[in-house]
Amino acid sequence: MNEPFLPFTRPSFDEETLAGVLDVFRSGWITSGPRVAELEAALVSRLGHDRRVLCFAHATGALEESLRTIGVGPGDEVIVPAMTFAASANVVLRVGATPVFVDVDLASRNLTPAAVAAAVTPRTRAVMPVHFAGLPVALEALQAVARRHHLVVVEDAAHAIGARYRGREIGSFGDLVCFSFHANKNMTTIEGAAISLPAGRVDWADRLERLRFHGLRKADDGSYDVELAAGKHNLSDVAARVGLGQLKRLDAFNRRRRELAGYYFARLESNPWGLVLPEWGDEGHAWHMLTVLVPFETLGFGRRELQERMRSHGIGTGMHYPALPPLTLYRALCDWHPGRFPNAERIGRETVTLPLFPAMTEGDVDRVCRALGQILGGGGA
Ligand SMILES: *Cc1c(COP(=O)(O)O)cnc(C)c1O
């Protein structure tokens, strides 16, 4: 095995960005300052001047403070998908509210507006859709449900920077849309995030700004007052400079992701091993990840073994995500029993994330499919 190891994801940085980062260091100002303002402005240019964008240190904090901003707290419920990263449910608990899980669709891996409508109670305050792997949820129908029940839609758009729903970019509309710029996401600031909200919601923006930085409210004379025991979630200028270089390349990154996903589909769509591919979607899909379902029950070995065998072929894989309701923290909350969230639970048991990142070649995709073929069924794909 002399081919280099192929991880399931890897960020791409160009020399211009790295030189720009050095310039930030040399400027003497490395934490939140002009580069953060520039990244926020660049995101507004992209998403629309009727939007306001606030950068955060991570999407986990952005989601949590978004919930706080709209007043979600003890006694309230927030609807979240049963298959997502733990952060989506934890932030609800962290503000003292209760996450209410709904099953996801097996093909899109997204929550459905019908499931959300069925889960609404008098305590429901918000719904937190996740655009899983960059495939937008059915936002129009979801927003109709939200309007009907006076819910705020806090989008966990951690996978969805650059994604489009019916031609409109995610974050260019909607209540509170939280992007993650974690190292594994479609663009990165190493760690980081941004919230997009309507420019007209100055009340939300004002509260978010204070929640982002110690609750401070600055006065014109340079003094400040503190009204909230807030935390600290500001992004650094070094990180923002990385993000500015990434944002310029985002569309090219996402186009390349889509090409590679298409190549995987051509190789795997009619596979003989019972692999279930996700929904292809339309050109708005950001292809943050390619996750396939593997029929381990009939295969005679488990995910751990598949992943180890892939690794012995020099290929990294991921697992996104286990269903949340069976996990210790959430089990009691939703009175979970096996089969309660059949799609999320099946995905959790069977999902494997294959390598997908812009610097990959079609030869890399071939290599992954060949290795899968050898491991799953002897023959090649
Ligand atoms: C990555 C991720 C988050 C958290 O993002 P951070 O920036 O790492 O805090 C939240 N939700 C989902 C679905 C994610 O994938």
321 part of a folded domain: yes
What separation in Å is there between the alpha carbon of 60 and the centre of ligand 1?
A: 6
What separation in Å is there between the alpha carbon of 196 and the centre of ligand 1?
A: 15
Which stretches of the chain score pLDDT less than 70?
1-2, 378-381
Closest residue CA from atom 14 of ligand 1: 158
Q: Ligand 1: which of 80, 180, 190, 291 to mutate, most ligand atoms within 8 Å of CB?
A: 180
pLDDT of residue 381: 43
306 part of a folded domain: yes
Alpha carbons 372 and 367: distance in angstroms, whole number: 9
Same domain, 219 and 237: yes
Same domain, 133 and 203: yes
What separation in Å is there between the alpha carbon of 130 and the centre of ligand 1?
A: 10
Residues 6+ apart with CB under 8 A from 320: 85, 133, 289, 291, 351, 353
pLDDT of residue 380: 41
Domain boundary (243, 278, 304) is at: 243
Same domain, 82 and 227: yes
> Residue 225 sits in a domain of what CATH number?
3.40.640.10
Same domain, 283 and 211: no
Alpha carbons 38 and 35: distance in angstroms, whole number: 5
Task: Note the pTM of the prediction, 2 decimals.
Answer: 0.97
DSSP letter at 341 equals S
Same domain, 222 and 275: no
For the CA of 132, the closest atom of ligand 1 is: 13
For the CA of 60, the closest atom of ligand 1 is: 9
Same domain, 82 and 204: yes
10 part of a folded domain: no
Residue 286: which of 131, 122, 176 has the closest Cα?
131
Same domain, 283 and 181: no
Q: Which domain holds residue 30?
A: 15-243
What separation in Å is there between the alpha carbon of 161 and the centre of ligand 1?
A: 12
Same domain, 268 and 120: no
Alpha carbons 127 and 152: distance in angstroms, whole number: 6
Residue 21: which of 210, 236, 196 has the closest Cα?
236
Is 232 catalytic? The answer is no
The full DSSP string for 176-200 is EEEEE--TTSSS--SS-EEEEEETT
Domain boundary (243, 276, 306) is at: 243
DSSP letter at 132 equals G
Q: Who lines ligand 1 at CB under 6 A? A: 58-60, 84-85, 87-88, 130, 156, 158-159, 180, 182, 193
For the CA of 159, the closest atom of ligand 1 is: 15
Closest residue CA from atom 6 of ligand 1: 59
Residue 143: which of 113, 108, 178 has the closest Cα?
113
Same domain, 364 and 305: yes
Number of folded domains in the chain? 2
Residue 92: which of 124, 116, 67, 115 has the closest Cα?
67
For the CA of 62, the closest atom of ligand 1 is: 9
Alpha carbons 37 and 123: distance in angstroms, whole number: 37
Report residue 108 as tokens.
């899109």
For the CA of 88, the closest atom of ligand 1 is: 11
pLDDT of residue 71: 98
What separation in Å is there between the alpha carbon of 319 and the centre of ligand 1?
A: 14
CB-CB contact of 79 with 129 (8 Å):
no
Same domain, 213 and 273: no
pLDDT of residue 378: 59
What separation in Å is there between the alpha carbon of 301 and the centre of ligand 1?
A: 30
What separation in Å is there between the alpha carbon of 119 and the centre of ligand 1?
A: 24
Residue type, 375: I
290 part of a folded domain: yes
* Packing angle of the helix pair 59-69, 86-94 (nearest 10 deg): 40
- Identify the residue whose tokens are 């669709």: 105
Domain boundary (194, 213, 243) is at: 243
CB-CB contact of 188 with 239 (8 Å):
no
Report residue 143 as tokens.
């927003």
CB-CB contact of 278 with 108 (8 Å):
yes
pLDDT of residue 3: 85
